[in-house]
């Protein structure tokens, strides 16, 4: 699949699975830098219809309407921006080895709320910076990623925003992921270890040096994914 097809599938999935599809439509419209009027004109609708969808005043659009809206996002980007936004998502069509899931949230989530909602256990001792937020997550197979990722591919873990949670599963001690994060100039808002065998004290020390919360969560992976996705609804 090319990047447009993969991106369209991703947007459709987020909208249809969201409990607040209007907010998710608004998130993507904003990401594509398209005004309500531009979108309405392209779809031959009144701007008030788009506004009503996004605010929840109007019943959420059906599958065909969602498809038309997504097609509008992509076509407007091609015509208006020479595919500028589409190109930013090329990484999702490259099937980055080790990335199990990646998602952007339609709004910022305070770190403390993020930790509370997923039931994380905080390992670092420094007080959490209340100004920091989470705008998305990347779920990573720790072993596969460490074996295959290159320095050029590392930024692909961050999706649309660096203000995100990097969540590592299938790790033993967590030293390697934190070393990689420590030496790279791009940093996440928070790091999550899913069911590690143990946590190397060095990983905690490195997280504290970066003033970055490091948490552990021990629930089944499917349950964790449901919690992460539900945060964006």
Please give the model's pTM, rounded to 2 decimal places. Answer: 0.64
Report pLDDT digits (tens) over 180-210. Answer: 888 888 889 999 999 998 899 999 999 999 8
Report pLDDT digits (tens) over 105-139. Answer: 878 899 999 999 999 999 998 777 778 889 889 88
Cβ neighbours of residue 15 under 8 Å, at least 6 residues apart?
21, 24, 25, 28, 66, 70
CA 32, distance to chain mean position in Å, is: 16
**Token duo for residue 87:** 């190109």
Q: Which residues pair with 168 in a beta bridge?
A: 140, 193
Q: Which residues pair with 194 in a beta bridge?
A: 169, 217
Cβ atoms of 189 and 163 closer than 8 Å: yes
Closest by CA position to 92, among listed 100, 84, 80, 82? 100
Report pLDDT digits (tens) over 216-228. Answer: 999 999 899 888 8
Q: Which domains does the chain have, with CATH numbers?
A: 3-88 (1.10.260.40), 97-230 (3.40.1390.20)
Cβ neighbour number for residue 113 with a 10 Å cutoff:
13
Q: Give the neighbor-by-neighbor strand order of the sheet with 190-194.
A: 99-110, 133-141, 165-169, 190-194, 214-217, 121-122
Task: Give dist(CA 174, CA 203) in Å, integer.
Answer: 6
**Token duo for residue 13:** 């999935």
Cβ atoms of 195 and 218 closer than 8 Å: yes
pLDDT(96) > 60: no
Closest by CA position to 161, among listed 183, 141, 132? 132
């Amino acid at each position: 699949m090319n990047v447009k097809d993969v991106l369209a599938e991703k947007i459709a999935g987020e909208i249809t699975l969201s409990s607040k599809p209007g907010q998710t439509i608004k998130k993507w419209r904003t990401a594509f830098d398209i005004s309500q009027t531009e979108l309405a004109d392209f779809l031959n609708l009144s701007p008030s219809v788009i506004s009503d969808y996004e605010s929840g005043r109007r019943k959420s659009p059906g599958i065909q309407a969602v498809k038309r809206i997504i097609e509008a996002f992509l076509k407007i980007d091609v015509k208006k921006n020479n595919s500028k936004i589409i190109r930013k998502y090329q990484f999702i069509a490259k099937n980055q080895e080790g990335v199990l899931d990646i998602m952007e949230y339609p709004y910022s989530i305070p770190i403390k709320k993020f930790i509370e909602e997923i039931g994380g256990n905080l390992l670092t001792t420094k007080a959490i910076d209340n100004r920091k937020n989470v705008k998305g997550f990347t779920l990573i197979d720790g072993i596969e990623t460490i074996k295959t990722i290159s320095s050029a591919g590392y930024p692909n873990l961050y999706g649309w925003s660096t203000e995100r949670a990097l969540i590592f599963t299938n790790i033993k001690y967590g030293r390697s992921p934190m070393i990689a994060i420590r030496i790279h100039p791009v940093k996440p808002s928070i790091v999550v270890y899913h069911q590690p065998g143990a946590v190397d004290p060095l990983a905690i020390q490195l997280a504290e040096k970066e003033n970055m919360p490091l948490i552990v969560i021990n629930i089944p992976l499917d349950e964790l994914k449901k919690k992460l996705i539900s945060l964006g609804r």
